[in-house]
Amino acid sequence: MYTASQIKNVFQDYLLKEKFSAAPASLYDPANYILSLPAKRARPLLSLLAYQLFRDELDEALPAALAIEVFHNFTLVHDDIMDEAPTRRGQTTVHKKYDLNHAILSGDVMLLYAYQYLMQTSYQDKTALFQHFNQAAIEICEGQQMDMDFEKMLDVQIEDYIEMIRKKTAVLLGVSLRIGAMLGGATPEVAEKLYQFGTHFGISFQIQDDILDTYADPDKFGKQVGGDIIQGKKTYLFLKTRELLVGEERADFESAYYGDTSDKVDRVKQYFRDVNAKEYAVQVRDAYHDLAFSYLNSLNLDDLRLEPLLDYTKGFIKREM
Amino acid sequence: MYTASQIKNVFQDYLLKEKFSAAPASLYDPANYILSLPAKRARPLLSLLAYQLFRDELDEALPAALAIEVFHNFTLVHDDIMDEAPTRRGQTTVHKKYDLNHAILSGDVMLLYAYQYLMQTSYQDKTALFQHFNQAAIEICEGQQMDMDFEKMLDVQIEDYIEMIRKKTAVLLGVSLRIGAMLGGATPEVAEKLYQFGTHFGISFQIQDDILDTYADPDKFGKQVGGDIIQGKKTYLFLKTRELLVGEERADFESAYYGDTSDKVDRVKQYFRDVNAKEYAVQVRDAYHDLAFSYLNSLNLDDLRLEPLLDYTKGFIKREM
């Protein structure tokens, strides 16, 4: 059995070995570029950790883990176009380094290779494997579209926001775990519980992300604290505060949030405080977190088997702020 | 057994019935829009005609035919972005009617649905089915990239041009026939021959397309005759003429082809005449055409069985100009 960081090394070596070498280079260079950027590799790691709950030799599970990481990077390339993002992982995004056309087409071919890698698994019931992967992939597109739609909508409900982050981010964590478990020989029921663990964990993680963006220790946080507020992003904190305010107060809060006064962050944080937005967010985050781990615990797995996955997921959500 | 035009009606009804109805509408409306435009439906038709060489009831083959058509339309949506095309099938392109982001993401989800539909087939060996489909899909991306690369290259060889049109256009015709044949119960050898028929037929068709663009009867041709010359496109006629000219003559020809003098079309056609470019093109077109049909004939199929496919493909290439 391996720890998460050992598994990451195994995966990184495999990723390097499987670098695209086909022609034309103009198509595959951007794909190799985005895959070469330093990254956490959270999704393939979760997949391999789930596999390791049931079986030891990782080799069998590597092509599927690669499929998941290549798929994830396809979404990053296309999302960065849509979000007009200049940087990703501290480096130039694909559409800025190359151009729009290269980013579109390289993204497309990465998506096709994700299926190619998934086919390389020796799993018997390929249809089941593809169904789960494909369902997740479709939901991820739907989540990205919802996210873009929400930017233009004035009245976004919290339940719709949760559904958006579930689709856009959480289902890929869920299906990574599910596929790892399936390849490891888990029953459909057990694989389903790991999927539920992953999706609930993912939602919890996203809400934590919203909280940290406003309340993180600036010395420990990689980005600018308050960035979401400055950009007027529809986060959990914003949506909850908006929901709890009425009439003129809501209107004032919205105009502060979408405005750009110099004291914007402080003013918005005062509104958050007035309605206890952070406490609500922490509560919902913890509810999803606990629900996630209740799915995991219900599997009654051997503690020793479970340790690498537990260690990794506990490190993933740092509660201290 | 059905004729091609009867099969087209069956397919159109199925396409309408299977219209995207999931949410968000902002994601699926552009997909429904492009699929609703009047179209020949050549690829699903070829697939269903190949199926019908072996089995009668079309129902079993419809999901795969839909997968192929939805995949094809995904490529149209993304290609139209890359080519900055304002119209497609006489209507506004998706990225112009909606916007860039909708075109990228709707294209992505169409590609995912192509796999979804392919999974709905009851074919036993799904891996083989997916392998062939995926290989073709990857080659189509490579072909599109080659096409874009060629636009910027001065020295494109004819064999590279043929490889580009094989990948960009011909393999999808080939794999459509192959998948139809597989679902109909053909052996791998027979399905392979139908694939070869399709790819060679596709290359022949593309060269015919190049010829028609310059030499079609203006009264019968849907587009402006000479359009490729006016745009300075690297067609078979251009590449062959360039290959046959040397030194100063080649340089003069190139500057005429990439220039925009008012007598450009006539001047270029004079160069074509000087080297018999059209005759070479007709020869190569016919060679691919005859090779295509030799694959088909080698199957020794019953004449009656073959009739609908023969009728359709003969109508597809109209030799008279």
| Four-residue CA torsion sign, B20, B24, B29, B31 | negative
- Kindly provide the ipTM of the predicted complex, given to two decimals: 0.95
- Which contiguous run of DSSP H or E holds residue A87? strand A87-88
Interchain contact, A145 vs B105, CB within 8 Å = yes
B27, B116, B127: residue with CB nearest A126:
B127
What are the domain boundaries of chain A? Answer: 4-316
Residues of chain B with Cβ-Cβ distance to A82 below 8 Å are 100-101, 104-105
Interchain contact, B108 vs A109, CB within 8 Å = no
Interchain contact, B119 vs A137, CB within 8 Å = no
Residues of chain A with Cβ-Cβ distance to B23 below 8 Å are 142
- Which contiguous run of DSSP H or E holds residue B91? strand B91-92
The amino acid occupying position B209 is: D
CATH for A4-316, among 1.10.3720.10, 1.10.600.10, 3.40.920.10, 3.40.50.150?
1.10.600.10
Dihedral, CA atoms, A67, A69, A70, A75, nearest 10 degrees?
A: 120
Size of interface A-B (CB pairs under 8 A): 104
The amino acid occupying position B158 is: I
Interchain contact, A142 vs B104, CB within 8 Å = no
| pLDDT per position as a tens digit, A55-86 | 999 999 999 999 999 999 999 999 999 999 99
Residue A167: count other Cβ atoms within 10 Å of its Cβ: 22
Q: Which A residues in the span 182-201 are in contact with B, Cβ-Cβ below 8 Å?
A: none
| pLDDT per position as a tens digit, B41-63 | 999 999 999 999 999 999 999 99
Q: Which A residues in the span 3-22 are in contact with B, Cβ-Cβ below 8 Å?
A: 22
CA atoms within 13 A on the CB side of B62: 17
B101, B126, B149: residue with CB nearest A148:
B101
Q: For A101, name the nearest residue in chain B, comparing CA atoms only.
A: B82
pLDDT digit of tens for each residue in chain B (321 aa)? Answer: 999 999 999 999 999 999 999 999 999 999 999 999 999 999 999 999 999 999 999 999 999 999 999 999 999 999 999 999 999 988 999 999 999 999 999 999 999 999 999 999 999 999 999 999 999 999 999 999 999 999 999 899 999 999 999 999 999 999 999 999 999 999 999 999 999 999 999 999 999 999 999 999 988 887 889 999 999 999 999 999 999 999 999 999 999 999 999 999 999 999 999 999 999 999 999 999 999 999 999 999 999 999 999 999 988 766 544
Residues of chain B with Cβ-Cβ distance to A112 below 8 Å are 111, 134, 137-138, 141
Residues of chain B with Cβ-Cβ distance to A145 below 8 Å are 24, 26-27, 105
Angle subtended by helix axes B303-316 and B42-52, to nearest 10: 170
The amino acid occupying position B6 is: Q
Residues of chain B with Cβ-Cβ distance to A22 below 8 Å are 142
Q: Which B residues in the span 21-80 are in contact with A, Cβ-Cβ below 8 Å?
A: 22-24, 26-27, 78
Dihedral, CA atoms, A253, A259, A263, A267, nearest 10 degrees?
A: 10
**What pLDDT sits at residue B223?**
82
- Percent of chain A topping pLDDT 70: 98
The two structure tokens encoding residue A180: 């790892």
Chain A within 8 Å of B85 (Cβ-Cβ)?
A: no
**What pLDDT sits at residue A276?**
98
| pLDDT per position as a tens digit, A258-304 | 999 999 999 999 999 999 999 999 999 999 999 999 999 999 999 99
Residues of chain B with Cβ-Cβ distance to A146 below 8 Å are 24
